[in-house]
Amino acid sequence: MVWRYEGKNFYFCGEFNMLNQPISITALASISPLGCSLGDVWEQYLTNKHLLSKMPYQKQSVWAGRLSSQDNQRIISLSGHEPKYQHLDRTVLFALFAARRAVEMANWKEVRKEYGINIGSSRGATALFEQHHAQFLEDGKTAVLASPTTTLGNISSWLAHDLQTHGPTISHSITCSTALHALLNGVAWLQSGLAQQFLVGGSEAPLTPFTIAQMQALKIYAKPQNGVPFPCRALDLEKSTNTMVLGEGAAMACLEVGQVTNRMASIVGIGYATEPLRHNVSISADAQCFQDSMKMALKGISPGEIDVIVMHAPGTIKGDVSEMHAIEKVFCNKIPFLTTNKWKVGHTFGTSGMLSVELAVLMLQHQKTIHVPYTKPQEPPTSLNYVMVNAVGFGGNAVSVLLSK
């Protein structure tokens, strides 16, 4: 990591790829508007239909990416698994659901339980916090469990309890790049030799009045018009209005050192960077942070070898265009196939990066690209060997992860 001076500002970025050996992804599990099994998720990606729907909000309605009624019932059932779980926020329940499936898929349930856990969230226990705060404003008191069920470490701690693990348990929030920062942390622990296995991911349940109000205040939320074929137009570089839509869900990955036999994909490059802010939610016109994170992830690999980029592309005008400018600067005349999933499921904040990893791995496995239906046709690569995943959060915290089959 080095500090770079530009104008009157310093910012840091990586100038070398720290991977001294590949890291295997041995399991992926999620619950989102796409479903809760990899088979269902892939089937949804093969359609050109979005999974956004209207939900009531302050005597009107807004677009949102919600779990199906069947998956929502699964979460409700999970909350009754233990009496203590009835008091948990949906962010924790989403994470518990996805983590159980990931650990089972990786066959970690039958081995020593010394793997680490790093699950992040941009907003944390949003619904519970709003509920407890409303009660406090009304009568000046809070419920007994208000604090332990709304702290940031709430998610990873409950996963460690539920899975009965004995390894390091970490929580963090780095806004929309949270899940990929969890992946970076897992990679660092594995590379250091302090752990052999790490469960990483993100969980988000932001479909609450206060959270939606915050996004509307920023003037980035999609308008609730009727008859709109695609409410969120992520990766549409010609749109004239912001079209971000919030979604909910959790996504987890099991990481192990080396080229494990049962791997789904390998992590062969990681990159990260920040850039100086001109505004609390700003990003530069050519997303310098993305340029640096992508270059770092590419160390030792030619940009021309990258087949697909799963973009962050939140559906905002500046966010989508600036990331595209960064890609053009890094990849010059050979732009990889570009895709995103936010038009289909919305922006799941801290979960979004891992849902993008899931899409990347599925494309590598099926050797098929997923096209965004309202964008210009692209020539798909003849084979998929390398897929890059991007994520960035408020504050210019960019992460790029390079995956191979």
Residue 14 has pLDDT above 50, yes or no: no
* DSSP helix/strand/coil, 170: strand
Residue 21, pLDDT score: 84
Q: What is the pLDDT of residues 210-267, one digit of tens each?
A: 999 999 999 999 999 888 999 999 999 999 999 999 999 999 999 999 999 999 999 9
Residue 16, pLDDT score: 47
The whole-model pTM stands at 0.93
User: CA–CA separation, 163 vs 174, rounded Å?
Assistant: 25
User: CA–CA separation, 223 vs 220, rounded Å?
Assistant: 9
User: CA–CA separation, 107 vs 225, rounded Å?
Assistant: 46
* DSSP helix/strand/coil, 114: coil
Residue 8, pLDDT score: 43
Residue 15 has pLDDT above 70, yes or no: no
Least confident residue range of 9-18, 91-100, 143-152, 337-346: 9-18
Longest alpha-carbon distance in the chain: 64
Residue 1 has pLDDT above 50, yes or no: no
Token duo for residue 336: 């990889």
Q: What is the pLDDT of residues 29-46, one digit of tens each?
A: 999 999 999 999 999 999
Residue 227, pLDDT score: 83
Strands (E), 17-171: 23-31, 53-57, 60-65, 116-120, 169-170
Q: What is the Cα 294 distance to its own chain's centre?
A: 17
For range 188-215, the mean pLDDT? 96
